[in-house]
Amino acid sequence: MICINCFHQSTNVINSRPHKKQVSVWRRRQCPHCACVFTTTETPSLTDNKKISLPSNTLDVFSLGKLTISISNAFNHDKQKAAYDSMWLAQTVEQTLSSEYSIITPDDIAAVTHQTLKKYDQLAAVQYAATHRLIVSARRRGRPSLSPSERVPPTDVSPSL
């Protein structure tokens, strides 16, 4: 690890503790050159550790950049949140995926992202769900929502002679 004060190429770890609720490690470091003490928090990256299982039975790598752009697109109503908060939300989704899922699918990514956005911004969650087809159908008030198998075809009632 490079020193943040003098940019020396090597630092010593003085203290290290794993986080109790997240997949991360807190470390206190000291530079042997300038004696500067600083703290780092290290988390594993999904890009290196986990692969995404695609429906075509192929594997792909996780891209935090793609997820950040996807979340940013959900904030059409608030450009400031799109610019400043989408990266932090994507990192939250990445931490959730790395701690709770052993095999990741695109549906898992969409579901976890949608749940994270619901806690942060309802409108962004709806826009994300609409973009990623998580919303199946919208019901109109007073009209039942029937699936195609439940619909009864109209019968031609003609008097028989």
Which pTM does this prediction carry?
A: 0.62
Q: Which of 67, 124, 131, 115 lies closest to 94 in space, CA to CA?
A: 67
Residue 61 located in a structural domain: yes
> 26 and 65 share a domain?
no
Residue 156 located in a structural domain: no
- Looking at the structure of the chain, the number of domains it has is 2
Residue 35 located in a structural domain: yes
> 55 and 125 share a domain?
yes
Mean pLDDT confidence for 96-101? 81
How many angstroms separate the CA atoms of 86 and 53, rounded? Answer: 24
> 56 and 27 share a domain?
no
Q: 153 pLDDT exceeds 90? A: no
Contact yes or no for 127/134 (Cβ under 8 A) = no
Three-state secondary-structure class, residue 141: coil
Residue 110 located in a structural domain: yes
Mean pLDDT of the chain: 82
> 31 and 96 share a domain?
no
> 37 and 58 share a domain?
no
pLDDT of residue 74: 92
Q: 140 pLDDT exceeds 70? A: no
What lies within 8 Å, CB to CB, of 152 at 6+ separation is none
Residue 145 located in a structural domain: no
Residue 85: domain span: 46-131
> 69 and 108 share a domain?
yes
Cα 19–25–28 angle (5° rounding)?
A: 115
Residue 54 located in a structural domain: yes
| Reported confidence tier of residue 37, pLDDT bands at 50, 70, 90 | very high
